[in-house]
């Protein structure tokens, strides 16, 4: 995978807020490396000079100095392991915060094309690996270079021929490790792709568990999930095989390096070229050489894994919202609710038009119902008003303002939506109602609940407004969830209201109760109602019949019945 210069700049930019801690981490690691490098030389001098001289006082001073160095080393080691990881964690926090903030801005079309499970995998798994790279990457390169260069110079100072043997074997080990790491990296990359699929399948299956059980499709769901899980198992087995080849090969070469130094070094001792202390120093330095080689090869895999994750992270950050505020966008206040569609054309795929050349005016305070066959564009028409999608051609105006010239926050603040499929957040009933206006008082909360005809039910619960609703409001009935949604809209108190088939899934009794709450909610507001049950829209000021050809009929309920057209036919079918 190729990584752009801009992407690297973005990655490095996350170090800037934490540069003091980063410098502390790298400085501590540097001093630790120097201490590690001098220990074999101290050991060599101790054996060659101090012990043979019999100078006990010098021996004690020498030992005390080494002890002090090790105390310093331990303190620095704590700094590297604690504060170094803190740097990575804080960078991960910053990235996750940026990603979540950006996700809040992306248009509906992005979520139409991307599964929730895969987005979650990027948010959790990818950023965890990026965090590890952010902490260990610079540290591994920095320390490896220092250790390799420093050890090579010191070994050449003792005996250049034996140092050359170590360097040659080290280069061979490095090349072997890189090749094996590359194949191992590709294998683990496939594992990551497969687990992302498993996550997405799992999220989808759990979300639809009630549907699966209602259709007794548990075995089908298990079979479908097992397909992805089997691919993950096979990919993981291959990855572990590659990892075992890497570990076994590196382990064998490491042992061979010890053997080569022992045999050739033993010969040099025999020949009188070096001393036993020199040979011991070489054996100690083998570990100092192997460690940076392992670090460098590990860094290659970590870099590939971390940067692949960052590339996916960066891809989302670089995904521009299709719908943004215009440079000259304004906030609108004191909205009356006059909505105008001026020759609006729209398609989801830039091919097949859902709406074409549609013109319509909704007067302030008017209740307009939208009926018609499925696929005619009823919901689409309503989704264009709060700019969940942008029109292909034409304009939409609110109180004479082009909605593309209104800030999204201001536009959507003045529009309330009550949908058929109510989404409640995991939390309390009070939390979900307050979502309409988080700063509202308890008195406002109660007033909104009373208007939505749900206050008495809430007060009958042991925890009242602090009652936990369960995931997606599963602990509430459909009618109760609808009332919570309506209370949320009452609390928001928007001048423009969109009711998207808000009662179509309810029984007749509950529908009448909910409809009464909706009628109260619609008073004094510009209201658009999408409904399959035509009995719920008979009192609308105007009814539009929308088909793929556009608005084919409009008028009051009685006028459309007398027209004996599409609406009259739909009404007969619903009776």
439: DSSP letter: T
CA distance 52 to 39: 19
Rg from Cα positions in the chain: 35
Both structure tokens of 489: 């809209």
The CATH number assigned to the domain holding 296 equals: 1.20.1560.10
Q: Is the domain of 403 the same as that of 518?
A: yes
Q: Report the C-alpha gap between 502 and 113 in whole angstroms.
A: 26
Q: How far apart are CA 573 and CA 215, in angstroms?
A: 28
Whether 309 and 347 share a structural domain = no
Please state the separation of Cα 227 from the chain's center in Å.
Answer: 25
CA 472 to chain centre: 20
- Residue 71 in any domain: the answer is yes
Domain end residue (candidates: 261, 284, 317): 317
Distance (Å, rounded) from C-alpha 378 to C-alpha 369? 10
Alpha-carbon span 405 to 393, nearest angstrom:
15
Residues written for the chain: 575
In three-state secondary structure terms, 369 is strand
Of 265, 285, 317, the last residue of a domain is: 317
Final residue belonging to a domain, choices 282, 317, 352: 317
Same-domain check for residues 299 and 425:
no
**N-terminal to C-terminal alpha carbon distance within the chain:** 61
Residue 324 to residue 317: CA distance in whole angstroms: 15
Give me 451's structure tokens: 């208007």
Alpha carbons 199 and 122: distance in angstroms, whole number: 11
Are both 480 and 380 inside the same structural domain? yes
Does residue 148 lie in a domain region?
yes
- Report residue 85 as tokens: 């990881």
393-398 and 339-346 strand pairing: antiparallel
Q: How many domains does the chain have?
A: 2
Rounded to an integer, what distance in angstroms lies between the CA atom of residue 530 and that of residue 528?
7
Instruction: Indicate the SS3 state at residue 374.
Output: coil
User: Can you list the positions of beta strands (E) in 199-326?
Assistant: none
No. of helices (H) and no. of strands (E), the chain: 20, 10
**Same domain (yes/no): 353, 486:** yes
Full pLDDT tens readout for the chain, 575 residues: 566 778 788 888 888 888 898 889 888 888 888 888 887 777 777 777 777 776 677 778 877 888 888 899 899 889 888 888 888 888 888 888 888 888 887 777 777 777 776 777 777 777 777 887 887 778 888 888 888 888 888 878 877 888 888 888 888 888 887 787 777 777 777 777 787 777 777 777 777 777 777 767 778 778 878 887 888 888 888 888 888 888 788 788 888 888 888 888 888 888 888 888 878 878 777 777 877 877 777 777 677 777 877 888 887 887 777 777 888 888 888 888 888 888 888 887 767 777 888 888 889 888 888 887 777 777 888 888 888 888 888 898 988 888 888 888 888 888 888 877 777 887 888 888 888 888 888 888 888 888 888 888 888 888 888 888 877 777 777 778 888 888 888 888 888 888 877 665 556 666 676 777 777 777 788 888 887 767 677 778 888 888 877 788 888 888 888 888 887 887 776 65
Q: Are 431 and 470 in contact (CB under 8 A)?
A: no
Edge-first strand order for the sheet with 542-547 is: 415-419, 496-500, 526-530, 367-371, 542-547, 550-555
Q: How far is CA 17 from CA 21, 22, 36, 137, 156, in A?
A: 9, 10, 31, 18, 42
pLDDT at 494: 85
What is the C-alpha separation between 465 and 324, in angstroms, rounded?
Answer: 36
Query: Is 31 found in the same domain as 178?
Result: yes
2 assigned to some structural domain: no
pLDDT at 248: 85
Going from the C-alpha of 195 to that of each of 92, 100, 232, the distances in angstroms are 21, 21, 6
Identify whether residues 449 and 307 lie together within a single domain.
Answer: no
CATH number of the domain at 509, please: 3.40.50.300
Token pair for residue 61?
């001073």
Phi, psi of 272 (to 5 degrees): 85, 15
Regarding whether 420 and 305 lie in a shared domain, the answer is no
In a domain, 1, yes or no: no
Domain that residue 378 falls in: 339-574
CA 58 to CA 61: how far, in whole Å? 5
CA atoms within 13 A on the CB side of 147: 27
| Spatial CA neighbour of 279 closest among 262, 296, 295 | 262
**Do 397 and 264 belong to one domain?**
no
393 and 492 part of one domain: yes
**Residue 4 included in any domain:** no
Asked if residue 276 is part of any domain, the answer here is yes
Q: Across 422-518, where does the E strand assignment appear?
A: 496-500
**Residue 131 and residue 51 share a domain:** yes
Q: Which two tokens stand for residue 165?
A: 């043997």
Classify residue 7: in a domain, yes or no: no
Beta-strand pair 339-346/355-362? antiparallel
Model-wide pTM > 0.85: no
Are both 387 and 524 inside the same structural domain?
Answer: yes
At residue 575, the pLDDT reads 57
CA nearest to 474, candidates 425, 513, 430: 425
- Which string of DSSP letters, residue by residue, matches 96-120? HHHHHHHHHHS-HHHHHHS-HHHHH
Answer yes or no: is 332 within a domain. Answer: no
């Amino acid at each position: 995978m190729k990584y752009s210069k801009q992407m690297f700049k973005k990655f490095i930019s996350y170090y800037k807020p934490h540069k003091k801690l980063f410098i502390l981490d790298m400085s501590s690691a540097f001093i630790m490396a120097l201490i590690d490098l001098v220990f074999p030389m101290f050991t060599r001098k101790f054996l060659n000079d101090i012990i043979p001289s019999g100078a006990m006082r010098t021996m004690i001073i020498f030992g005390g100095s080494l002890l002090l160095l090790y105390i310093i080393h331990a303190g620095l080691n704590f700094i590297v392991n604690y504060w170094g990881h803190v740097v990575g964690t804080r960078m991960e926090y910053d990235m996750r915060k940026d990603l979540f903030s950006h996700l809040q801005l992306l248009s509906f079309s992005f979520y139409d094309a991307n599964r929730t499970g895969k987005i979650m995998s990027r948010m959790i798994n990818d950023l965890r690996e990026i965090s590890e790279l952010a902490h260990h990457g610079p540290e591994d390169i920095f320390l490896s270079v220092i250790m390799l260069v420093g050890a090579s110079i010191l070994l050449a100072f003792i005996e250049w021929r034996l140092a050359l043997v170590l360097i040659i074997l080290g280069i061979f080990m490095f090349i072997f490790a890189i090749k094996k790491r590359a194949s191992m990296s590709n294998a683990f990359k496939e594992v990551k792709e497969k687990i992302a699929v498993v996550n997405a399948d799992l999220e989808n299956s759990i979300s639809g568990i009630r549907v699966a059980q209602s259709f007794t499709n548990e075995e089908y769901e298990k079979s479908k999930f097992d397909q992805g899980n089997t691919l993950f198992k096979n990919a993981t087995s291959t990855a572990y095989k590659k990892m075992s080849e890497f570990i076994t090969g590196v382990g064998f070469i490491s042992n061979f390096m010890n053997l080569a130094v022992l045999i050739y070094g033993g010969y040099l001792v025999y020949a009188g070229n070096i001393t036993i202390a020199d040979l011991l120093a070489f054996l100690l330095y083998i570990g100092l050489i192997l460690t940076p080689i392992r670090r460098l090869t590990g860094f290659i895999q970590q870099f590939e894994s971390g940067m692949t994750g960052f590339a996916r992270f960066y891809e989302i950050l670089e995904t521009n919202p299709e719908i943004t505020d215009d440079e000259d966008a304004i906030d609108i206040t004191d909205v009356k609710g006059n909505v105008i569609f001026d020759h609006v054309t729209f398609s989801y795929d830039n091919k097949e038009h859902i709406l074409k050349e549609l013109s319509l005016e909704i007067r302030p305070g008017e209740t307009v119902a939208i009926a018609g066959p499925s696929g005619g564009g009823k919901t689409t028409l309503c989704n264009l008003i709060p700019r969940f999608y942008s029109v292909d051609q034409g304009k939409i105006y609110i109180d004479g303002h082009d909605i593309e010239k209104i800030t999204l926050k201001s536009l959507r603040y003045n529009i309330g939506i009550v949908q058929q499929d109510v989404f409640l957040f995991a939390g309390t009933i009070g939390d979900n109602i307050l979502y309409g206006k988080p700063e509202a008082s308890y008195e406002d909360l109660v007033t909104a609940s009373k208007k939505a005809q749900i206050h008495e039910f809430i007060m009958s619960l042991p925890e009242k407004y602090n009652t936990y609703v369960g995931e997606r409001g599963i602990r509430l009935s459909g009618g109760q969830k609808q009332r919570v949604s309506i209370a949320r809209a009452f609390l928001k108190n928007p001048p423009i209201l969109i009711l998207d088939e808000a009662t179509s899934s309810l029984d007749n009794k509950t529908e009448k109760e909910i409809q009464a709450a909706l009628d109260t909610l619609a008073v004094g507001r510009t209201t658009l109602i999408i409904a399959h049950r035509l009995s719920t829209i008979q009192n609308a000021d105007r009814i539009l019949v929308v088909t793929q050809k556009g608005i084919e009929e409009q008028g009051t309920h009685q006028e459309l019945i007398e027209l004996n057209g599409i609406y009259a036919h739909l009404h007969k079918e619903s009776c």
